[in-house]
């Protein structure tokens, strides 16, 4: 209840400040006006929400699969990790705004795929880095025990390293979910796709150009709500997986 109470208080303070200062809606609309705009423009905003959600989910799935596979590859060969990990860092530190136009140009016949690639670039590194760290964090004594019993590298991976890396991997999923949404929104801003295939970012952009600030805040609230929903769903999934065996999710009674 604490976050809900804080959110309600913030909305009340926001509404009071707008009324007391007589701030015009084109500068800062009141929460009530944003809610009314959200309801009145729902038929246009909801399809855009679905487009952004599709891009986010596709990028998140691609980042999860590719990040896990790359992390496994890194732990199987030190030479491969030292050769390729710096390039993963370079790809992560390159501003997506700078390379998004090139990706969209290269994949101009498939805008959806271009947006997914942009969002994937933003999201996959957290999974690679955290999962790689988790795979390396297996107990050394258990690794020696597996070697003593002549377990193959794949047996060690499946029965020791992957379970040990599970908290790291699940933690990275919660980060990557939000990053996928950020990447999708940034890519939509750069692409500027309009029409029926436009996402929430395009609605925000057009609303700001036309000084339709209440509509811009309504689209922004949908984006924020989507990010919170993604985090909550992933947190519930992660906690349910770890709750019976890992200290980070076990509820201790005082």
Residue extents of the structural domains in the chain: 44-239
pLDDT of residue 192: 63
The CATH architecture assigned to 44-239 reads Orthogonal Bundle (1.10)
pLDDT at 172: 92
Whole-number Å distance between alpha carbons of 71 and 65: 10
Residue 254's pLDDT is: 47
**Whole-number Å distance between alpha carbons of 67 and 254:** 38
pLDDT of amino acid 100: 83
pLDDT of 194? 47
Q: Give average pLDDT by consecutive 10-residue segment, the chain, 254 residues.
A: 88 90 88 92 91 94 94 87 88 84 82 90 92 88 89 88 90 92 88 64 88 91 93 90 68 50
């Amino acid at each position: 209840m604490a976050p809900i109470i804080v959110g309600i208080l913030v909305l009340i303070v926001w509404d009071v400040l707008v009324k007391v200062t007589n701030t015009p809606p084109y500068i800062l609309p009141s929460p009530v006006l944003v809610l009314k705009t959200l309801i009145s423009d729902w038929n246009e905003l909801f399809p855009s929400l679905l487009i952004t959600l599709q891009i986010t989910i596709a990028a998140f799935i691609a980042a999860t699969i590719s990040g896990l596979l790359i992390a496994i590859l890194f732990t199987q060969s030190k030479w491969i990790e030292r050769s390729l990990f710096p390039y993963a860092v370079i790809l992560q530190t390159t501003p997506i705004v700078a390379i998004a136009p090139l990706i969209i140009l290269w994949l101009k016949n498939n805008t959806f795929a271009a947006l997914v690639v942009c969002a994937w670039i933003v999201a996959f590194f957290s999974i690679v880095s955290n999962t790689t760290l988790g795979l390396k964090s297996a107990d050394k004594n258990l690794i020696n025990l597996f070697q003593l019993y002549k377990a193959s590298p794949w047996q060690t991976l499946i029965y020791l390293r992957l379970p040990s890396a599970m908290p790291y991997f699940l933690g990275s999923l919660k980060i990557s979910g939000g990053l996928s949404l950020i990447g999708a929104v940034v890519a939509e801003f750069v692409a500027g796709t309009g029409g029926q295939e436009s996402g929430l970012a395009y609605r925000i952009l057009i609303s700001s150009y036309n000084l339709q600030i209440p509509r811009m805040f309504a689209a922004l609230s949908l984006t924020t709500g989507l990010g919170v929903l993604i985090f909550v769903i992933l947190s519930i999934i992660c906690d349910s997986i770890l709750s019976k065996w890992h200290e980070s999710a076990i509820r201790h009674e005082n």
